[in-house]
Amino acid sequence: MSAGKRICIARKRRGWTQKDLAALVGCAQQTIVDIEGQEAPQSRFLSRIISELGESIEWIERGLGSPAGSVVDANRLPHLDLETVALRSLDPAIDDQEIDSLYSSPVEMSRMAFTIGVDRMTAQVMRESVRVDDVLFVDPGAEPFPGHLVLALMPGWQRAELRILESSAGLHYLGADSDRFGGSLIPCEVLRVRDEYLASGEGDLGPALIIGTVVFVGRDV
């Protein structure tokens, strides 16, 4: 992965547009566009960009270490649709949809956090857990435990889906609230790492990529 793409990923994790980052750095938006498209960016603004993103030079320039995990700006959580969440989980460098809505986080979350809305299908599947127009605050950095609402992706699914993580006798399951819409428990191998999910083969249990844990449910007013 190029240094430019790591800058792009770090920016999107903060819910910032290229225009937002340019304003913080004091450069033209086109400068950010150019830098994110370069394998090894050379710019007098590079050190300021890395500083504003709160990342280490080693991770941005050489991919050493890990991206920063400090708390997000509570007023800058991006609001994503379930198709975008699935695509972004399989390829972190993919271009996101234009982010128009930003939500304030009521709880401490990691830099990877985002929000999703509840559409009618999700509300029907999870009718006892969420309602249409609820805003779900999702944190990929939060550890999922049995009984938690999670966003999950399984082979053949075209978008991320909200489910309840269950565990029994050492096995994991994804469950729903409605029998009509897949209420039966789906046995699965719970995975948290994208590469492990992509490399998983056919087996007795289908792999499930847990994209994130729902840590708060709010109401879109």
Instruction: Look at residue 72 and tell me if it is in a domain.
Output: no
Domain that holds residue 54: 3-62
User: Are 214 and 127 in a shared domain?
Assistant: yes
- 102 & 210 share domain: yes
Kindly report the number of other CB atoms within 10 A of residue 7's CB atom: 23
Structure tokens at 142: 């939060």
Q: Are 49 and 142 in the same domain?
A: no
Are 36 and 144 in the same domain?
Answer: no
- Asked if residue 40 and residue 138 are part of one domain, the reply reads no
Q: What is the DSSP string of 91-117?
A: -TTSPPPP---EE--SS---TT-EEEE
Q: What average pLDDT does this structure show over 174-192? A: 76
Residues 140, 112: Cα–Cα separation, whole Å: 6
For residue 72, is pLDDT > 60? no
Assessment of whether the complete model's pTM goes beyond 0.85: no
Strand, coil or helix: 83: helix
Examine residue 70 and state whether it is found in any structural domain, yes or no.
Answer: no
Q: How far apart are CA 107 and CA 217, in angstroms?
A: 11
Same domain for 202 and 105, yes or no, is yes
In a domain, 193, yes or no: yes
Cβ(14)–Cβ(111) below 8 Å: yes
In a domain, 122, yes or no: yes
Look at residues 214, 84, 80, 79 and name the one whose alpha carbon lies nearest to residue 158.
Answer: 84
pLDDT of 160 > 90? The answer is: yes
Tell whether 71 is covered by a domain. no
Q: Are residues 95 and 197 in the same domain?
A: yes
The alpha helices in the chain, defined as continuous H runs, are 3-13, 18-25, 29-36, 46-53, 57-62, 82-90, 120-125, 194-199
> What span, in angstroms and rounded, lies between the C-alpha atoms of 56 and 54?
7
| pLDDT-derived band at 183, boundaries 50, 70, 90 | low
Residue 173: strand pairing partners: 166, 187
Note whether 43 and 85 are same-domain residues.
no
pLDDT in tens, 18-46: 999 999 999 999 999 999 999 889 899 99
> Per mean pLDDT, which range of 39-43, 92-96, 115-119, 124-128 is the poorest?
92-96
Q: Are residues 93 and 134 in the same domain?
A: yes
Comparing 91 with 67, the larger pLDDT belongs to: 91
Question: How many domains is the chain partitioned into structurally?
Answer: 2
Q: What's the confidence (pLDDT) of residue 111? A: 76
Q: How confident is the model at residue 163 (pLDDT cuts 50, 70, 90)?
A: very high
Token pair in block for residue 143: 């550890």
* 32 domain residue, yes or no: yes
How many degrees, rounded to 5, is the angle at CA 82 between CA 166 and CA 157? 65
